[in-house]
Structure 1
Amino acid sequence: MISDNYERIVQRAKRLFKREAHVEYPHSRTRHTTSNVRIENRENEVIDVTCDFITYRSKREKLDSFIGRIDYKLVEQNGELKIKQKRVLLDLDSLRPQGKVSIVL
């Protein structure tokens, strides 16, 4: 489970794009597919949204698949929806020893 707020998501993305992030250099090729988007609750100014996802990661002739669910807490600011919190729940039995979950942003 990865549970990040907006600031942590931004910092994670910045770190992964630096050359010093040797785990992701050269960068992985990824594809994200999202489905079953549902608005679960809308109380006060927070909107709870869930969706299912599958992420494919290709690097060094190897293909990894990650499946799971994402829970968002959204807020409206200046007429735009902003992510207040994002929680990724992987639905896997195990990660292979070389599996990296840093690409599930």
Structure 2
Amino acid sequence: MCMNTEEWVSTRSFGFSTKTHRSKRSKVRVYLLMRRRSEQISGRDMELKNLRLYLENQSIIEENEKLRKKANVLYQEKLVLVSELQKKFPPIGCSPPVVYPIADSVINKEVTLC
């Protein structure tokens, strides 16, 4: 089992040169694997961010629809109150009523104001 110095040096130098060659390959492979893994991780991160933004957008859209419906109900109540007010207290000495068309996505009514 004991080697002489020449055998040990020759095998050592030969082994060292192949190890260096393998080492370069292995370093490249490790680099490529690390790069692929980081791309996968960043891809997952992007997917998670995208999902979070999508869910946030959906909640904003739902809230917007609720507020739009609420605003429409308030607008209709306002029209009813204005018409009741005009019936109770007709304007005195006012020129003929002017009709203003009000365009709304849900209702199209005309309001008479003095």
- Which structure is richer in relative contact order (CA contacts within 8 A, separation 6 or more)? 1
Higher-helix-fraction structure? 2
Query: Which protein has the larger Cα radius of gyration, Structure 1 or Structure 2?
Result: 2
Normalising by structure 1, we get a TM-score of 0.22
- TM-score w.r.t. length of structure 2: 0.20
